[in-house]
Amino acid sequence: MFTLILNGDVEVNILNALSIIYRSIDIYYVSQKCNLMVNKVKRRVSCFPKATYYKPREIPLCCLEIINLSIEEIEAVRLCDLLKIEQNEAADRMGVSRKTFWSDLQRAREKIADALVNGKAIEISGGEYVNTGECKVNFLCKECDHMWEAKDNQPRPTSCPNCGSNLIFRIGGDGRGMRFIENNYCCPKKKESSKDTGDVSKKK
């Protein structure tokens, strides 16, 4: 057992002291890691995309590999590439550091490039963000052609405020297409498989 004598009358057990120090260091790093996980900064998003799915033409979505683009990633692209806002200002708008904004932007650009070059679909959803509600969305009623707008941070309307019809859709699309026949729509691939199954049963 090693001991250290200080001032001739104080003995310190070196092994015990080292174990205490290492234990304190482990506790510190674990607490810091937990704080980083809990206190992850949510990006401020002021505008949602008009549509949430993009894919190559004439290929069913179920036959494609889908790349997920988060809401904050598309917001970074909108601010920097569409509105041509400087990165410092764009980072301030989203409430993050310039480094964090640059990481989101680069990740979004890589995903978009991958989808365009390799023929993949893009799904825009999810992420860590706060909706500021600055952007407005237009809705149109198929029954009476009435058009109105609502804020992004409000629930999607269920009926037309003019005639009460529920045949309404978001201008620009809600995502997967086939807006007016959601209940009857299914993937063409699934339709073909069900048709083949029906033909086989008829032959039997």
What are the tens digits of pLDDT across the range 10-68?
444 565 665 666 666 665 555 555 444 445 688 999 888 878 889 999 888 889 999 99
Q: What integer pLDDT is reported at residue 26 of this predicted model?
A: 60
Could you tell me whether strands 147-151 and 136-141 are parallel, antiparallel, or unpaired per DSSP bridges?
Answer: antiparallel
User: What ranges do the domains of the chain cover?
Assistant: 3-38, 42-134
Task: Give me the residue label for tokens 């200002």.
Answer: 89
What are the tens digits of pLDDT across the range 120-150?
999 998 888 888 877 777 888 988 989 888 7
For residue 24 the two structure tokens come to 């304190």
Q: What integer pLDDT is reported at residue 13 of this predicted model?
A: 58
Report the distance separating Cα 29 and Cα 116, nearest Å: 41
